Structure 1
Amino acid sequence: MTEVVPTEDPQGPSMRAVTHVIYGLFALGLISAGFLALATVASIVLAYLKRGDAAGTVYAPHFDWVLKTFWWGLLWLVLSALATLIFIGWLTGAVALVWVLYRLIKGWLALFAGQPPDGEV
């Protein structure tokens, strides 16, 4: 099994550090219960800006993971907000929030282990 060695830019922060910042900002936005939602938006903007730089490295799947988690989570939270009109939205919103937290934790732990978040190499 060969590991992809990331190319690091000596002028800027490492891709590993950038990926940790993305996960950290995303988590900050979630644990603040939306009070610091701008942190989550900043993590997504950063992920889109640095996605090309991470291509071909072990960090690229993490960028895709965070972006998919954000967009799917946003979709389900919006649908849950609409479903509160029929009193089931609170339950589906809680399930969506747990799913987003699960993916955030799973991805961040995989980053610490130096693995892609989905377990595939």
Structure 2
Amino acid sequence: MSASLVDDKTPGDRTVMHVLYGMHTIAWASMGSLAVIALVVNYVKRGDEGDPLYLAHHRWMIRTFWWTLLWLVLTGPLWLVLVFPGAAAYTVIGLWYLYRCLRGWLRFSENRMPD
């Protein structure tokens, strides 16, 4: 990643990305509402983004959200079978979501692409 592309961004742009990653990361505490708000901002900011690093991180957060939602919906019926399979599936999905958020956030802090 070229340093000149990152240098064109303002400190406010970096702060917005950190706030978005933070909102996604602690979304569990708001029953997902922070993730939905962050997702909307990701879509809005992505549309105006020209920096490949920032664009990649917006896409990373968007994909993380939608894949998580898909897996939650697909494993939802496990709660009807017994409590344990549903809880186990949701725990694994939650840990995967947390991993993706933290990995992306750390890579963004290092000015690296998320994947």
TM-score category (smaller protein): 0.7 to 0.9
Contact 1:58 1:114 in 2 (8 A): yes
For residue 3 of structure 1, report the CA deviation from its aligned partner: 4.2
Q: Residue 20 in 1 paired to residue 15 in 2? A: no
Contact 1:26 1:39 in 2 (8 A): yes
Q: What 5-or-longer segments of structure 1 have no aligned partner?
A: none
Instruction: Report % sequence identity.
Output: 36
Q: Residue 72 in 1 paired to residue 67 in 2? A: yes
Aligned match of 2:107: 110
Q: Residue 46 in 1 paired to residue 44 in 2? A: no
Structure 1 residues 96 and 38 mapped into 2: Cα distance closer, same or farther (>3 Å)? same
RMSD over aligned CA atoms reads 2.0
- Determine which structure has greater relative contact order: mean sequence separation of CA pairs < 8 Å that are 6+ residues apart, divided by chain length: 2
Q: What 5-or-longer segments of structure 2 have no aligned partner?
A: none
Q: More helix per residue: 1 or 2?
A: 2
Q: May I ask how many residue pairs the two structures share in their alignment?
A: 112
Cα distance between partner residues in 1 of 2:3 and 2:62: 23
